[in-house]
Amino acid sequence: MKNRIKAVFFDIDGTLVSFTTHTVPDSARKAIARLRERGVKVFIATGRLLRHTDVVRDIEVDGYITVNGSYCLTSSGEVIYEQSFPHDTVERIFSLMDQYGFAMELMTQENIFVEKITDEVQRAIDMVDIIPAVAPLREIAAQQKVLQVCPYISHELEQEILPQLPECVGSRWTELFMDVNMRGIDKSLAAVKVMEYYGLTMDEAMAFGDGGNDVSLVRDVALGVAMGNACQPLKDVADYVTSGVDEDGVSRALEYFELI
């Protein structure tokens, strides 16, 4: 297996970056450096915007899957793939926001936007150490491409709202909110696009993750690894479960598979 792996994808929050320290363990940094020394390509695969990957920006990688696959690019900035929301879909999402009264984040290439910092939004800020900009969401949507929306809704309300957006798909990596993307957009599709760009296939890829938005990628690569702190649905599709992000899970798994 180790000779087949030509590329490794890493999620950020809960995988490379600890929710406790908001930093990358030294063991993971050293492991990634050793991977690249061996000629293995390394990619970030995150729900974050590119501007919010600063926490891993000093780690040398070959490219980024951002916003759960909606915007993919090389380390030099060349766009590999991009998919934004149609205006009519955004308008229907706004109508649902008005109807049900939930808070929501809007993600564009420029930033994350909210209409106000609610208690739930503050909890998310505390968890990932990212502060969204406050602005009228309809004005932002009229001026910029919307890559993802993140409604702060419960699992129960999710079951009521998502069927009203058949062209969309939702995933979760936190109980606070869900990530909503256009149907067909996920980290797995993005990884296929990235691998094709470099003349590689998913049979030559490995991926690490911890949340619901990592399920498609961890499931579809040749070797999928769930962190010890991962959600159960991800562990169920993973080929291997390593230790947690704060217990050197990344380096331990790479050592276990003799990739470093």
Over residues 52-70, mean pLDDT: 95
Q: Looking at residue 3, what is its pLDDT?
A: 73
| 167's tokens | 């062209």
Residue 166 lies in a domain: yes
Q: Does 1 fall in a domain?
A: no
Instruction: Report pLDDT digits (tens) over 189-219.
Output: 999 999 999 999 999 999 999 999 999 999 9
> To 5 degrees, how large is the angle CA 237–CA 243–CA 246?
125
CATH of the domain at 252: 3.40.50.1000
Q: Is 227 exposed, middle or buried (CB count within 10 Å of its CB: 0-12, 13-18, 19+)?
A: buried
Q: Which of 165, 182, 199 is the last residue of a domain?
A: 182
pLDDT confidence of residue 2: 60
Residue 135 lies in a domain: yes
pLDDT-based confidence at residue 187 (cuts at 50, 70, 90) = very high
State which residues form the domain around 166. Answer: 87-182
Q: Are 20 and 47 in contact (CB under 8 A)?
A: no
Judgement on whether residues 37 and 67 belong to the same structural domain of the protein: yes
The number of domains in the chain is 2
- 210, 99: one domain: no
Judgement on whether residues 68 and 196 belong to the same structural domain of the protein: yes
Cα 65 off chain centre by: 7
Q: Residues 19-51: pLDDT tens digits?
A: 999 999 999 999 999 999 999 999 999 999 999
**Whether residue 192 sits in one domain with residue 175:** no
> Taking residues 216-239, what's their average pLDDT?
97
